[in-house]
Structures are given as C-alpha cells and as structure tokens.
Amino acid sequence: MIRILLAEDQSMVREALAALLGLEPDFEVVAQVARGDEVLAAARAHDVDVALLDIEMPGMTGIEAAAVLRRELPALKVVVLTTFGRPGYLRSAMESGASAFLVKDAPAAQLAAAVRKVLAGERVIDPTLAAAALAEGANPLTERERDVLRAAADGSTNAELAETLHLSQGTVRNYLSTAIQKLAARNRAEAVRIARDKGWL
C-alpha cells in the first residue's frame, strides 16, 4: 500500500480528494491535516510515503512545509498541489524539494498518476508552466521591496507602512518606487497585482 498524507485547509476539498485517492486500490490516505505546521508531525506519526501539500494554508505554506520535510524526512516524496499556476510558486516549490507540482484545474487522473511517478523517482511538472517559469526569470525584487509591497497590499498609506516597518516615509516610497519600476507597473496597486500573479509576493 502507498501511504499518503493530505494537507489542505478546506475540509470539503480535502475529504473529497481523500475520496478520490481512495478509489485507487493500492492507495491509503493515512493522515489528513488542515495546517502547514502540522505536516511534519503527521508525517512522522504515520510512516508516510507521499505528502500531498496545498500551498495556501494557515500556519505554514505548503512550500515551506516541503522544505521542512526534505530536511527532516528526506525519503518522503512531496507533491505540491495548488489552485494558482503561478510560475513563482513552481520555482519555489521545486527549490524546496517537491517532486511534483500540480494545479487543481488539471484532470483528476493526473493526481494518482503523479503519486505513482514520484514514487518511481520521476518528477512531474506541467510543461506549459515550466516554460512560463523559465521565461519569466527569477523574482527581481529584493527582500525589503517584497516586505514593503506585501505590507502595502491591503491599502495602507505610506505613513502606516513607515510605522509598521519602522522606516521613514521616504524610504517606503523609494522601495515602492523601485518595485513599481522593476515590475513595470504604473502604481503600487498594479505592482501588488503583478507580483501576486507571478507568485513573487
């Protein structure tokens, strides 16, 4: 039996995926968690062969959890499953040690197929997405630029950003300005949107 861990924060989707995987006679979903920071303990406790990780989760992202698993349980294979086919996500997932990267709007058959392939030592990546990830290059933002952009995403003003980030207003505006230029945006709002779309935020 192939022992599977499922990490996904939406119960209904998680249990539905479990039902789907349960249709395969040699699959067994031995653990389900709803938070990224519960992945490691569950994987340890249930002698898991493959971890299926959603990216957007409370506590810790699936990508961060993948990195933890690689360090602590290197033999375990990781499949990252996500709603958003953002090239930046693919890049980070692979850098964190994932063996497969699937988007949720791929056909369901690919899920079981991916599990079998990663156990056979293969990597599974959507070719279109891989091309997009390579075409777009790496994240051009520095860490601070990312911080400021992330903080600006909710509509905070410069004064508030300066406050929460312990910076001067001028510095906040400088970082936003360079971020806007690097992303070829016309203002902070568009910069946020672009960075989000590419998975750079």
Partner DNA sequence: AGTCGGCGATGACAAATGTCATGGCCGTAC
Partner DNA sequence: GTACGGCCATGACATTTGTCATCGCCGACT
Binding site for a second copy (CB under 8 A): 9-17, 19-20, 22-23, 81, 83, 102-108, 110-111, 154-157, 185-193
CB of 118 to a second copy, least distance (A): 16
- The 3-class SS string of 59-110 reads CCCHHHHHHHHHHHCCCCEEEEEECCCCHHHHHHHHHCCCCEEEECCCCCHH
User: Cβ closer to DNA: 128 or 168?
Assistant: 168
Does position 171 interact with DNA (CB under 7 A)? The reply is yes
Binding-site size for DNA (CB under 7 A) equals 21
Q: Which does 17 bind (CB under 5 to 8 A by kind): a second copy, DNA, none?
A: a second copy
CB of 158 to DNA, least distance (A): 3
SS3 call for 51: strand
Site for DNA in 116-155 (CB under 7 A): 142-145
Tell whether the torsion through CA atoms of 37, 41, 42 and 48 is positive or negative.
positive
Does position 158 interact with DNA (CB under 7 A)? The reply is yes
SS3 call for 186: coil
Distance between CA 201 and CA 198 in Å, rounded? Answer: 8
